[in-house]
């Protein structure tokens, strides 16, 4: 037989075994990377892929390539050596050999995945039973601008004088005296990360794990909640300019795709890279400052950029909705601007020995100044300040996330507690939307009358059941 044909036959034979071993080892990789994967989850991801909604993750791809190439090649080489040395004596046909491999594939699937189990979308699909989306009863929008500030980990914990020696949040209440705060802004389980605070407050639903993606992997999905209407979609309907600023990179955690899918134009989205190109100061001492070639951005600089952007557009005939995300108070000890540390603290070693107390003091000072500057513009602006989530190192059982509503029109809270989901209908009410029963998404308006007995029972079930599997939630991610 021709040597070239023999070589080709040997190569195809070798490749055939590599493929079989790849099928055997692939479920091990899935389990290592994503945990227990159900068939329903796999099919859901396959649908996203076929629709062109998935974005390749370089780290995941690299991991798969290494796993498939290295393990399959090594296993094939070892197997062919053993086969030649010992197994050829048994005269096993290719057909039988392939069947044996397929048996191992099924055993691997059974051991490493839940493909043969039914994913339990039980009858208690909390989101399906409780998600509410009613068209507004009426809209009385006065074209008032809205500024929504998410301050990293800002928690009323920082007001504890026994722990910190002073009320670190005091400047926000003494020097800005015209705001109101709800007593108990509590955190639902699993809400201690940025994308969930954004989605829950602006869409009224949680950013739950999707299929076998964790919340932090939602950055790999192009069409981010395409089948749901969020706050910026409503402001777009009202002809507002939607603007977003963050001192992080916009690609992290799926923020970019969320904004692109919900009526934020690229020209009005500013992250640390874009702001750096516009000439705003960056620092290696800020969040992710050592990971980015251009450094990170401190809160005072972010607020400066926000104020400048407002000044640029304030004469526009359109009102604006501005969202700002800070990072200097990120746990465990924060990333304060060294200029602030030098000016506020006499200890010359503070540059290296700072802790979260110093970071909060610096952020509160720059936030206070930003609010005062906004007030001096004499523009018609409602300002809402929120901790994006609680401080992770908060060891107190009874505390709440910081919140403050600085409103042009007098408002009264209907209760003493809220969670992130309640912000969605509440912010819409500030824009003049009246919604049936004050309910939208999974949230309850904090300014409208509400049945408190029903509300307390609802949030008790919400805390217990929100993490459950939900077909309704999956429907939000599918294009109609």
E strand or H helix at 381 = strand 381-387
pTM metric for this prediction? 0.85
Instruction: List the one residue out of 260, 269, 265, 258 whose CA is nearest residue 476.
Output: 258
Task: With H, G, I as helix, E, B as strand and everything else as coil, classify residue 308.
Answer: helix
Element containing residue 244 per DSSP (H, E):
strand 241-246
CA distance 326 to 320: 19
Between CA 418 and CA 205 the distance in angstroms is 14
Residue 263 has what pLDDT? 97
pLDDT, residue 159, reads 95
Q: Are 468 and 125 spatial neighbours (Cβ–Cβ below 8 Å)? A: yes
Contacts of 266 (CB under 8 A, 6+ apart): 260
* Whether 232 contacts 263, CB under 8 Å: yes
Per-residue pLDDT at 118: 59
| Third-level CATH fold of 128-475 | Alkaline Phosphatase, subunit A (3.40.720)
- Rounded to whole angstroms, what are the CA distances from 327 to 28, 206, 254, 401, 421? 37, 21, 17, 16, 22
What is the model's pLDDT at position 57?
57
Distance CA 180, CA 173 (A): 9
Q: What is the pLDDT of residue 58?
A: 56
Contacts of 349 (CB under 8 A, 6+ apart): none
Q: Please give the pLDDT value at position 269.
A: 97
Give the integer Cα–Cα distance in Å for 201 and 442: 10
What residues contact residue 209 under an 8 Å CB cut-off, 6+ apart? Answer: 215
3-state class (DSSP) for residue 321: strand
Residue 398 confidence (pLDDT):
75
- The domain segmentation of the chain, as residue ranges, is 3-112, 128-475
Distance CA 220, CA 225 (A): 12
**Residue ranges of the alpha helices (H) in 314-378?**
338-344, 350-353, 356-376
As a whole number of angstroms, the distance between CA 196 and CA 208 comes to 8
- At 86-118, the pLDDT tens digits run 777 667 777 888 888 888 888 888 887 766 665
Measured N-to-C along each axis, helices 356-376 and 299-313 cross at an angle, to the nearest 10 degrees, of 10
Identify which of 196, 144, 147 has the alpha carbon closest to the alpha carbon of residue 323: 147
Question: What is the Cα Rg of the chain in Å?
Answer: 27
Residues of the chain with pLDDT below 50 are 1
Q: How far apart are CA 406 and CA 401, in angstroms?
A: 16
């Amino acid at each position: 037989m021709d040597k070239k044909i023999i070589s080709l036959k040997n190569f195809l034979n070798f490749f055939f075994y590599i493929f079989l071993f790849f099928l055997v080892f692939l479920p091990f990789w899935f389990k290592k990377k994503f945990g227990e994967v159900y068939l329903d989850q796999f099919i859901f991801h396959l649908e996203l892929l076929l629709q062109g909604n998935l974005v390749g993750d370089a780290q995941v791809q690299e991991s798969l390539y290494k796993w498939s190439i290295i393990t399959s090649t090594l296993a094939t080489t070892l197997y062919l050596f053993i086969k030649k040395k010992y197994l050829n004596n048994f005269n096993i046909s290719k057909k039988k050999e392939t069947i044996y491999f397929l048996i191992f594939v099924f055993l691997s699937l059974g051991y490493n995945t839940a493909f043969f189990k039914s994913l339990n979308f039980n009858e208690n699909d909390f989101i399906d039973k409780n998600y509410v989306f009613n068209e507004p009863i009426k809209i009385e929008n006065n074209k008032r601008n809205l500024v929504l500030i998410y301050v990293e980990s800002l928690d009323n914990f920082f007001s504890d004088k026994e722990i910190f020696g002073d009320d670190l949040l005091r400047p926000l209440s003494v020097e800005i005296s015209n705001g109101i705060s709800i007593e108990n802004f509590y955190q639902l389980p699993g809400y201690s990360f940025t994308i969930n605070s954004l989605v829950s407050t602006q869409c009224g639903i949680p950013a739950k794990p999707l299929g076998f993606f964790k919340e932090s992997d939602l950055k790999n999905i192009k069409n981010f909640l395409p089948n749901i209407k969020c706050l910026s979609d409503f402001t777009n309907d009202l002809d507002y300019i939607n603007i977003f600023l963050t001192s992080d990179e916009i690609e992290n955690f799926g923020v970019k795709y969320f904004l692109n899918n919900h009526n934020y134009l690229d020209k009005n989205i500013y992250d640390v890279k874009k702001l750096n190109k516009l000439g705003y100061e960056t620092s290696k001492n800020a969040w992710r400052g050592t990971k980015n070639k251009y450094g990170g951005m401190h809160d005072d600089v972010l607020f400066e950029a926000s104020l400048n952007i407002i000044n640029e557009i304030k004469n526009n005939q359109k009102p604006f909705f501005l969202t700002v995300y800070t990072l200097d108070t990120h746990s465990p000890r924060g990333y304060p601007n060294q200029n602030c540390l030098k000016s506020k603290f006499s200890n010359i070693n503070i540059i290296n020995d700072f802790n979260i107390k110093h970071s909060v003091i610096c952020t509160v000072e720059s936030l206070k100044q930003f609010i005062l500057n906004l007030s001096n513009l004499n523009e018609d602006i409602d300002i809402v300040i929120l901790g994006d989530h609680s401080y992770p190192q908060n060891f107190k059982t009874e505390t709440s996330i910081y919140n403050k509503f600085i409103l042009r029109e007098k408002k009264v809270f209907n209760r003493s507690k809220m969670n992130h989901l309640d912000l969605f209908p509440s912010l819409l009410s500030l824009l003049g939307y009246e919604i049936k029963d004050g309910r939208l998404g999974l949230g309850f308006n904090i300014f409208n009358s509400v049945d408190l007995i029903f509300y307390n029972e609802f949030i008790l079930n919400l805390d217990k059941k929100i993490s459950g599997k939900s077909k309704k939630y999956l429907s939000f991610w599918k294009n109609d």
